[in-house]
Amino acid sequence: MSLLNDLININLSDSSEKIIAEYLWIGGSGMDLRSKARTLPGPVTDPAKLPKWNYDGSSTGQAPGDDSEILTAAISDILVLYFLNLDWISPQSIFKDPFRKGNNILVMCDAYTPAGEPIPTNKRFNAAQIFSNPAVAAEVPWYGIEQEYTLLQKDINWPLGWPVGGFPGPQGPYYCGVGADKSFGRDVVDAHYKACLYAGINISGINGEVMPGQWEFQVGPSVGISAGDEVWVARYILEACTVTLVNLFSFSMEYSNVLLRSAMQRIAEIAGVVVSFDPKPIPGDWNGAGAHTNYSTKSMRNEGGIAVIKKAIEKLGLRHKEHIAAYGEGNERRLTGRHETADIHTFSWGVANRGASIRVGRDTEKEGKGYFEDRRPASNMDPYVVTSMIAETTILWKP
């Protein structure tokens, strides 16, 4: 094994109590993830005990150069920091770091101006307010998010497994397909799966999707704001590592956990591929990519919950335009009424209907309680926005 690999895999806990904390936050586009690391004197499990930090907002598209310090903060510290007018990046949630391993951590943050105001791309702030509403908290909202994405060949931005400048055979054999001619990028997907489990993300499964080169991972069931935290960190792990996947898979079992870190973005760097969350990466007769959001409340899960589900769906239909506007950019290219989608302009629901806006499962209908699936969110949606908006509409909103 090379010296570089040996150094990468040094276990700090063997010689020091110090740990590395990788702070993550959402950049200026609302979809890009940023991160930087700092050394801490010892292990930390409580986000409130992590130090605040600032960063150059002018370099992330979040502040002008003459007032560029942006803060990331834990919700519990927002009021204190507002009155102190401090520059900070402050933690919201902590995950184990599966690349550095040991006691090292990944820290999901949100961002604020020096005055303590949430910046425009900080959607977590409003979501946390909704989820902390007593009426919402009492319903214990559960979410299961099906995050679809497409793996692209790095230098040509063409789906993995597709011939350069050409097209594969038509859709049909690729969904949950097995074999070198049907499944492209499985090593990346499996590495990401294990990394999320190591990190403590509530990832519940993976599968190949209908379009070749397209995959899905599922997060949940997760309660309230944690669903958004987990999806964002899972995306980060997918996109962010710089070691080659070939070298990683050549490690002995002693080093196998180096594959595991924070989510999909790190793993893609490892493999030298690009992750696309575009809702329709390839035009034409190919499926798009969504983030179907499964949802239930305590009342829906209890006996007689089907009536609560139907009432919630009715309210979602009344706010269809508002939800569509918040469900991801470019979604009009995906929601065409074809390829297992509903038309973007028309709200619909049905039992076991994957061509509807909202799908109710057969088990839910049979049991008279359970959950439903909102199939409208695009793959590039902000999970803080989608989860909190569904809760707000179905629990708090009065038509």
> pLDDT for 221-246, tens place per residue?
999 999 999 999 999 999 864 333 43
Q: Taking the model in full, what pTM does it have?
A: 0.88
Q: What is the mean pLDDT of the chain?
A: 86
Q: How confident is the model at residue 113 (pLDDT cuts 50, 70, 90)?
A: confident
Q: How far apart are CA 30 and CA 61, in angstroms?
A: 10
Structural tokens at position 12: 């700090």
Q: How confident is the model at residue 52 (pLDDT cuts 50, 70, 90)?
A: confident
Is the pLDDT at 86 greater than 50? The verdict is no
Pairing of β 105-112 and β 158-159 = unpaired
Average pLDDT in the 115-124 region? 89
Average pLDDT in the 370-384 region? 99
Is the pLDDT higher at 316 or at 244? Answer: 316
Q: How far apart are CA 62 and CA 14, in angstroms?
A: 40
In CATH, what class is 3-121?
Answer: alpha beta
Is the pLDDT higher at 100 or at 94? Answer: 94
Is the pLDDT higher at 384 or at 262? Answer: 384
Lowest mean pLDDT among 106-120, 160-174, 193-207, 240-254: 240-254
Is the pLDDT at 186 greater than 70? The verdict is yes
Confidence at residue 115, expressed as pLDDT on a 0 to 100 scale: 79
Q: How confident is the model at residue 71 (pLDDT cuts 50, 70, 90)?
A: low
Lowest mean pLDDT among 21-35, 72-86, 202-216, 243-257: 243-257
Residues 39-77 as b or e (16 or more Cβ within 10 Å = b):
ebeeebeebeebebbbbebbebebbeeeebbbbbbbbeb
Question: Percent of the chain beyond pLDDT 70?
Answer: 82
CA distances from 61 to 27, 303, 384 (A): 7, 49, 20
Is the pLDDT higher at 116 or at 169? Answer: 169
Confidence at residue 350, expressed as pLDDT on a 0 to 100 scale: 97
Q: Among 240, 214, 223, 228, which residue's Cα sits nearest to residue 340?
A: 214
SS3 content of the chain, % helix, strand, coil (to 5): 35, 25, 40
Confidence at residue 18, expressed as pLDDT on a 0 to 100 scale: 96
Is the pLDDT at 87 greater than 60? The verdict is no
Is the pLDDT higher at 245 or at 107? Answer: 107
Confidence at residue 290, expressed as pLDDT on a 0 to 100 scale: 98
Confidence at residue 66, expressed as pLDDT on a 0 to 100 scale: 54
Average pLDDT in the 14-37 region? 90
Is the pLDDT at 7 greater than 80? The verdict is no
Average pLDDT in the 16-38 region? 90
Vertex 185: Cα angle to 179 and 187 (nearest 5): 90
Lowest mean pLDDT among 100-114, 211-225, 363-377: 100-114
Confidence at residue 54, expressed as pLDDT on a 0 to 100 scale: 76
Confidence at residue 262, expressed as pLDDT on a 0 to 100 scale: 38
Q: Among 72, 32, 69, which residue's Cα sits nearest to residue 50?
A: 72
Q: Among 147, 165, 37, 137, which residue's Cα sits nearest to residue 97?
A: 37
Confidence at residue 58, expressed as pLDDT on a 0 to 100 scale: 62
Domain with CATH 3.10.20.70 in the chain: 3-121
**CB atoms closer than 10 angstroms to residue 323:** 20
Is the pLDDT at 205 greater than 90? The verdict is yes
Domain with CATH 3.30.590.10 in the chain: 123-399
Confidence at residue 267, expressed as pLDDT on a 0 to 100 scale: 65
Is the pLDDT at 254 greater than 80? The verdict is no
Confidence at residue 265, expressed as pLDDT on a 0 to 100 scale: 58
Q: How confident is the model at residue 192 (pLDDT cuts 50, 70, 90)?
A: very high
Query: Helices (DSSP H) in 56-164: which residue ranges?
Result: 78-84, 124-132, 134-139
Q: What are phi and psi of 309, to 5 degrees?
A: -60, -45
In CATH, what class is 123-399?
Answer: alpha beta
* CB 189 within 8 Å of CB 237: no
